[in-house]
Amino acid sequence: MTEYLAFVDEIGQTSDGGYIYRFDFSLDKEIVWGNYWNIAPANLVPDLKPDKKCLSKTFKAIIPCKMELACKNPCFSMQDCIDGIIPLCFPDIDNDYLVYNNKPFMFAFGEEYDEVIAKLQSIYSTPFDEEVIDSADKNAIENFVEGSNSDNNGLVDYYGDEFDDDNNDIDDDF
């Protein structure tokens, strides 16, 4: 059964400068939606996510450069992303060295799972922490979506804060 890319979100940064992203997939791209996905710009909505019931699979991947995300876009909405106006994620304009098949490297809404894997492999990235989501198990869906941004596994979060095993900030920044 074909699965389609529905959402991409940044989880954090590795200690060597890579960026960790979560890739969410759906069995039916026609049912993908989330609260406030029609709001433009998307960055006005904090913690923008897809409806958990539409997801079927997820994984994380490390990408060597910072990617711009549709869910944090200062001009467009997630509806614009679904309509193909902007991709789900693409390199910052200063990092345009990533290409795939002689085209700019990006992930579009509705891309098939195998194409996403091929793109990641082209930049030597391997998906990890893959989970199949049982849409009948509401607790599994809740844990998956809510927990993906809080489990840093010793990584550095988006703001450069380091965490211990109990997820306590161990920086002395403040």
Q: What is the mean pLDDT of each run of 10 residues along the chain (174 residues)?
A: 95 92 95 94 93 92 92 95 95 73 88 95 87 63 51 39 49 44
Number of domains, the chain? 1
CA distance 159 to 12: 8
Q: Is residue 167 part of a domain?
A: no
CA 48 – CA 136 distance, rounded (Å): 23
pTM here is: 0.76
Residue 23 placed within a domain: yes
pLDDT at 156: 39
| Ramachandran area for residue 15 (φ above 0: left; ψ -120 to 50: alpha; else beta) | alpha
**Does residue 110 belong to any structural domain of this protein?**
yes
Predicted pLDDT of residue 174: 40
3-state secondary structure of 105: coil
* Structural domain span for residue 111: 4-147
Residue 94: per-residue pLDDT = 72
Q: Tell me if 32 is assigned to some domain.
A: yes
**pLDDT for residue 147:** 53
Distance CA 67, CA 119 (A): 14
In a domain, 152, yes or no: no
Q: Which residue has the tokens 């993908």?
A: 32
Q: Can you tell me the distance from the alpha carbon of 157 to that of 80, in angstroms, rounded to the nearest whole number? A: 28
Residue 18 and residue 15: Cα distance in Å, rounded? 7
Q: How far apart are CA 4 and CA 110, in angstroms?
A: 5
